[in-house]
Structure 1
Amino acid sequence: MQPVAEPDPWSAWRQFTNARIALGRTGHALPTAPWLAFNLAHAQARDAVHHPLDVPAIRQGLAGQGHQVVEVHSAAEDRAVYLRRPDLGRTLSEPSRQHLAALVTQPAPELLFVIADGLSATAADRQAVPLLAHMMPRLQGWAIGPVLIATQARVALGDDIGAMLGARFVVMLIGERPGLSSPDSLGIYVTHSPRVGRRDAERNCISNVRPEGLRLDAAASKLHYLLTQARRLGLTGVGLKDESERPALGGPKADDSPG
């Protein structure tokens, strides 16, 4: 008996990608299995957007690594407002602003890490704390402030936080917009001299941090390289290129000492 679903001649290529290729067909439609898989992926992406950040679990994980933890919230009061008003996700709520004002210290921290929900709290829940565990041994000699957990946050919220605490660098670990094969992808944004009004061209980004994408150890190596070079050059953004994979060709090494 002939199979109901007609296989695609490219089906052997599917082992090399998560992209939806060579799914076959049944008449003029998709076979049932890939159609159901598509709907599952779509549901997972929607869930990632609306799922709340597991703040207690993240706080517990950070405390286990010995970090001081501070919680802040953007001016977007809830998820519905956050999705409709991106601008409110870029600025601190007034209670969070007052809370941070009471924490200002001298000397100011050189480096701050902010764990934020962004558009996929699932990504922050799964990747952020393990990434910091990979990262901290690489940061000997850095004056690191408390780790902040930010809810209803956009990338630029780190500028507001960093400016208030006087940090030289802010690293945002934030959930990226989920795709149909990547609901748990973490983005890392590095900003030198954070202040309100910084543009995206003034940051460096490492994206797709997850087990099926850029693995945690590789992401930590790239982040260390960018921070080391940003510290040496006094900038981030388009003027700082990621050449962390060029040592064999004579480029700068990720563990070069800052000048």
Structure 2
Amino acid sequence: MIIADPWHGLKAFTAARIALGRTGTAIPMQEVLRFKLAHAHARDAVHSSLDITAFPWEINLLHSNAADRAEYLQRPDKGRQLQESSRLSLTPGHADIGIILVDGLSATAVNHHAVPVLAYLFPMLQAKKISCARIQLVQQGRVAIGDEIGELLGVKLVLVLIGERPGLTSPDSLGAYLTWQPRPGLTDEARNCISNIRPEGLPYQLAAEKMFYLINEALRLHLTGVMLKDNYSLRIS
């Protein structure tokens, strides 16, 4: 007989695995199977690939120094460096911002969420006359690869949209990283991060509005990272 957990009502407030109930001293088989399915989804996300046909814009396809997924997972440093042929495909311009889509640890997240988020963001940038370089799409990349790309593009800012490390409740979470004056050697304190972008987490429109707020503040103050505070929620409260 399955014994209900008295904390069951709390499940309405979190996707975490709580109040699973029990069968004798064990977890019910249904919950065990749900856990195994979630684990399989997370593993699939790590090994997923970018769907190049999913993006309705003119894009430039780039590749990191990681030759394949196995090397990408074993050598994070190679995922932060551009392949030489990719470096040669980039030329500097005069755009304010470079938008870079990176598979990261969940290409599924980029395939599913990058287009709807940017559909909200692009009209805001256009209305403010913030110019964008051609969109770059990176295979086998890490967040910091945006620094090298941004320097080669000659942009003031880079916005990296990347698949985050899958969790057992979120195999398709998208992250956004904003960096002022990108260049190799920067570390995470130089960036602003918006995480958990997906319908079950941070909705597309709100994510785009937060990005737009931070982009405006970065261009106004000439900085990002720990010195740039995300006061967007205070502005709309």
- Does TM, normalized by the shorter one, top 0.5? yes
Output aligned runs, 1:72-91, within 5 Å. Answer: 72-91=62-81
Match of 2:89 among 96, 99, 102: 99
Taking the aligned partners of 1:186 and 1:96, their CA distance within structure 2 comes to: 24
Aligned to 2:232: 244
Aligned to 1:256: none
C-alpha displacement at 1:149, in angstroms?
Answer: 0.5
C-alpha displacement at 1:245, in angstroms?
Answer: 1.2
TM-score, length basis structure 1: 0.89
Output aligned runs, 1:74-223, within 5 Å. Answer: 74-100=64-90, 103-105=91-93, 108-140=94-126, 141-223=129-211
Aligned to 2:54: 57
Q: What amino acid maps onto 1:114 in structure 2?
A: I
Q: What amino acid maps onto 2:63 in structure 1?
A: H
How many residues are paired up? Answer: 235
Structure 1: gaps of 5 or more residues: 63-67, 250-259
Taking the aligned partners of 2:197 and 2:236, their CA distance within structure 1 comes to: 24
Q: What amino acid maps onto 1:28 in structure 2?
A: T
The root-mean-square deviation of aligned C-alpha atoms, in Å, is 1.0
Q: Percent identity?
A: 51
Taking the aligned partners of 1:158 and 1:109, their CA distance within structure 2 comes to: 15
Q: What amino acid maps onto 2:123 in structure 1?
A: P
Deviations 1:171-201 (A, max 9, x none): 0000000000000100000000000001100
Taking the aligned partners of 1:225 and 1:235, their CA distance within structure 2 comes to: 13
Deviations 1:92-129 (A, max 9, x none): 001101111xx333xx2110100110000010000001
C-alpha displacement at 1:248, in angstroms?
Answer: 5.5
Work out whether 1:16 is the aligned partner of 2:4: no
Deviations 1:4-56 (A, max 9, x none): 11111111211221110000011111001111000000000000000111122
Taking the aligned partners of 1:247 and 1:41, their CA distance within structure 2 comes to: 37
- Cα separation, partners in 2 of 1:205 and 1:118, compared to 1, 3 Å: same
Taking the aligned partners of 2:234 and 2:9, their CA distance within structure 1 comes to: 33
Paired residue secondary structure (1:139): helix
Paired residue secondary structure (2:161): strand
C-alpha displacement at 1:242, in angstroms?
Answer: 0.4
Deviates further, 134-143 or 208-217: 134-143
Taking the aligned partners of 1:143 and 1:230, their CA distance within structure 2 comes to: 14
Q: What amino acid maps onto 1:129 in structure 2?
A: V
Structure 2: gaps of 5 or more residues: none
C-alpha displacement at 1:57, in angstroms?
Answer: 2.2
Determine which structure has more spread, i.e. the larger CA radius of gyration.
1
Taking the aligned partners of 1:177 and 1:18, their CA distance within structure 2 comes to: 17
- Runs of 4+ aligned structure 1 residues displaced above 6 Å come to none
Q: What amino acid maps onto 2:153 in structure 1?
A: L
Match of 2:25 among 25, 28, 43: 28
Taking the aligned partners of 2:26 and 2:49, their CA distance within structure 1 comes to: 36
